[in-house]
Amino acid sequence: MEGTKLIERVSLAQRITHLLVALSIITLFITGFPITFSDYLGWFAELIGGYKVTMFLHRVAATCLIFATFFYVTNYVLSWLSGRCKLETIIFSPKDILDFIQDLKYTFKLSDELPKYAKFNWLMKASLSYAIFEVFVFIVTGLILWFPWFFMNFMPKSYILAAATIHRAFAIMALLHFTGHVYGNHFHPGEFPLHRVIFSGVLPEEHVKEEFPLWYEEIKEEEGE
Amino acid sequence: MVMNENDIFKISLIVGIIATLGILYVCNSTPKYEYGVPQDYQIEQGVKINFYVGAIMWGVLTFYGLAACGLVFLDYLKFRRLKKHGGH
């Protein structure tokens, strides 16, 4: 698309974080499920090199995920403090609930008008908020399972088993989330075969104008200043 | 506070590395078996707590699964309508 104006949507730091999180999450799935469901997937752990190697890779990927989380949070907070981004673009607001209702109305033919989205729509915000919560639970429960002797200083020994159950349940939810995220962004009929924004960081102006009108207006206002 | 993108990137990188290594170092500070292996009654209590936590997690998982499938279905319906109207 030569001659098309491109607008930056995802910064370099965000793209690096996304790549790190994606790679570590995929590794955590590949190594975590054979450990959890060893009766059915034990053969896969053997294929990787045995349980010792699988556990080691799981912990390396977990370390990557912890790093990516701290990197992203620090980056976002500093960007916000220096006025490079707004907190309300990723935090849920009453408008998002109204947008959701308007989306339902449009879907069920009760209205012909689509909601006007800002930089991120309600689903993107919900997905990001849940991902942050999910990673937080993974880090806490994962550290408890990794270093039970340390955590026994602060919690009863009888809670360790529960931490394992929560870790497993969240892993299944994370797999569902991951599948939905990949479908919505890459395999969705409107985006197939690949949504390039997470690799290039930019979107064509026309796309922004059509899909995120409020964000487009904001950009135009800033340009006019 | 005014910082350029490069500075923010570098500070985030340093904070990320220090925080990650710091957490792992602190968590690894207690030697194994210092607090002894769990007693029988603790294991029994653990199994009991785990039963309730497991039941809650199954509930959450079922709700999450249904919500996720519902959202994908709604998205499909919305896309079908958008396509008819020639939208994005």
Residues of A in contact with B42 (CB under 8 A): 156-158
8 Å CB contact between A171 and A33: yes
8 Å CB contact between A64 and A23: yes
| pLDDT exceeds cutoff 70 at A225 | no
**Which two structure tokens, joined as six digits, stand for A61?**
């990927």
For chain B, the structural domain boundaries read: 5-84
**Which distant-in-sequence residues (6+ apart) come within 8 Å of B59 by Cβ?**
none
Q: What does the pLDDT read at residue A21?
A: 94
Sign of CA dihedral A136, A76, A218, A190: negative
8 Å CB contact between A150 and B27: yes
pLDDT tens track of chain B, all 88 residues?
667 888 999 999 999 999 999 999 999 887 776 666 667 787 888 888 889 999 999 999 999 999 988 988 888 888 888 887 665 5
Distances (CA, A) of A24 to A20, A69, B34: 6, 11, 32
To the nearest whole percent, how much of chain A has pLDDT over 90?
53
| pLDDT exceeds cutoff 70 at A209 | yes
Cut 0.90: pTM above it? no
Closest CB to B29 among A13, A150, A152: A150
Shortest alpha-carbon distance between residue A213 and chain B (Å): 13
Q: What is the DSSP letter of B38?
A: P
| pLDDT exceeds cutoff 70 at A222 | yes
- Helix and strand numbers, DSSP H then E, in chain A: 10, 2
**Which distant-in-sequence residues (6+ apart) come within 8 Å of A157 by Cβ?**
B35, B38, B42, B46
Domain of residue A69, CATH code: 1.20.950.20
Residues of A in contact with B34 (CB under 8 A): 149
Q: Is B67 on the interface with A (CB under 8 A)?
A: no
Nearest-angstrom CA–CA distance, A144 and A139:
9
Domain count for chain A = 1
Q: What does the pLDDT read at residue B3?
A: 79
Q: Is A138 exposed, middle or buried (0-12, 13-18, 19+ CB in 10 A)?
A: buried
Residues of B in contact with A108 (CB under 8 A): 77
Shortest alpha-carbon distance between residue B9 and chain A (Å): 7
A148 assigned to some structural domain: yes
Quick one: how far is CA A176 from the chain centroid? 12
Sign of CA dihedral A197, A199, A204, A205: positive
**Which distant-in-sequence residues (6+ apart) come within 8 Å of A207 by Cβ?**
B88
A71 and B43 in contact by Cβ < 8 A?
no
Closest CB to B8 among A78, A146, A157: A78
H helices present in A82-121, as ranges: 94-107
A69 assigned to some structural domain: yes
Interface size between A and B, measured as CB pairs under 8 A: 149
Closest CB to B46 among A70, A109, A158: A158
Q: Domain range for residue A45?
A: 11-92+121-202
Q: What does the pLDDT read at residue A112?
A: 87
A190 assigned to some structural domain: yes
Averaged over A74-101, what is the pLDDT? 89
- Angle between helices A38-48 and A51-81 in degrees, nearest 10: 90
B15 and A210 in contact by Cβ < 8 A?
no
Residue for token pair 């009929």: A189
